[in-house]
Amino acid sequence: MKTKILSFAAAVLLVITAISCTTSDADPAGQNSSGGTITVNTGDLKLFLIDTAKVNTITMTGTNELTVLNRKVNSNSYIGSFSLNSDASKFVYVDNQGAFANGAFTSVKSIRVANANGSNDVAIYTLPNSTNTVNTEVGFVKFGTSKIYFSLQTQTFSGGTTSTITKLNSINFDGSGLVSQNYNGSLSAMYIATVTADGKYLTDYLSAPNQPRFQIVDRAGDNGAGSIVYQENITAITASASPAVFSYDNKFAYYGFVENQSLKVRVINMTTFTAVTKTIASNFTLSSFSLYISVASDNNRGILTVTGYNNAPSKSFVFNLSTSSSTTFNNNDSYVDYVTTF
């Protein structure tokens, strides 16, 4: 059993009812997970792809695929969200395992950290067990500068109704120091896409009447209640935008989308809170798909992975924003939902 990356088609249905923020878990400026400055890769891109329950590395041309971590136990095994640290020496991921025993299904979900070559793979947080009345899922995980950030959505089922609490959490690399904050409302009311590596900003999706929007929230704004520092309407077809990501150095936010059969990247400057659009490919004709974007540490190159719903292999577009160009390669199957780059 396997879940797909949440597409914007689902995200645009979400409406925020309230935001309650704090930055007590934000990272000090100038620090990162390697103890130095952000490493900028000027050579060939380092690509990590998720293939169901495996973490693989691959070249920029889609060749020499190598499995560095295999978490497959049975058909219920899969890896969810995935994030590299600031020098691509480690990654954090969501591990999902499940099995039937005595007629009942039991799932084990955990957040794990490993070296980039798959060694020293350890669990730093295990989610509460799901029951018939309570289910908890990880929305995203992010390797921050001195902490790991992740969101949890806990659904409680009672009397035919469902209530949901969304929490944004931070935890130390060794699993200590868990800090949680609640987001009022329900899962159908809020979707946190990710946070900056210093924990200061988050992105989420909401929908105004007949118009989906993308926004960036300063968690410390409005005396800790959280304030919107940037928002824009998504004018493309609502089913055709990726979840947003922040750059490794927190200077930009990005999301990919399709408009008029062109594959585009929206680039938001986190200093001026202005945006530009870059076209990276044309003649895009798929009508049903999901997108995932990752941008390298140079803030110029990246990869946009397109997954269709016809069991065909997904396709990755390796792009260059300064030249508005891209090259492509097909992944080995349809279960490669996304590729992360450094």
pLDDT over 60 (residue 158): yes
Residue 319 confidence (pLDDT): 96
Residue extents of the structural domains in the chain: 8-341
pLDDT over 50 (residue 187): no
pLDDT over 70 (residue 81): yes
Q: Do 146 and 32 contact (CB within 8 A), yes or no?
A: yes
pLDDT (tens digit, 9 = 90+) per residue, 117-138? 999 999 999 998 888 888 888 9
Pairing of strands 179-183, 191-195: unpaired
> Which one is the CATH code of 8-341: 2.120.10.30, 2.40.160.60, 3.40.710.10, 2.60.40.10?
2.120.10.30
- Beta strand extents in 45-190 (DSSP E only): 47-51, 54-58, 66-70, 78-84, 90-101, 104-115, 122-126, 134-143, 148-158, 161-171, 179-183
Spatial separation of the C-alpha atoms in residues 248 and 295, rounded to whole Å: 8
Q: Do 141 and 94 contact (CB within 8 A), yes or no?
A: yes
Q: For residue 214, name the pLDDT band (cuts at 50, 70, 90).
A: confident
Nearest to 247 by CA among 16, 30, 35, 39: 39
Tell me the CA end-to-end span of the chain in Å, nearest whole number: 29
8: part of which helix (H) or strand (E)? Answer: helix 8-11
Residue 227 confidence (pLDDT): 85
Q: Where are the alpha helices (DSSP H) in 106-251?
A: none
Q: Do 278 and 261 contact (CB within 8 A), yes or no?
A: no
pLDDT over 50 (residue 18): no
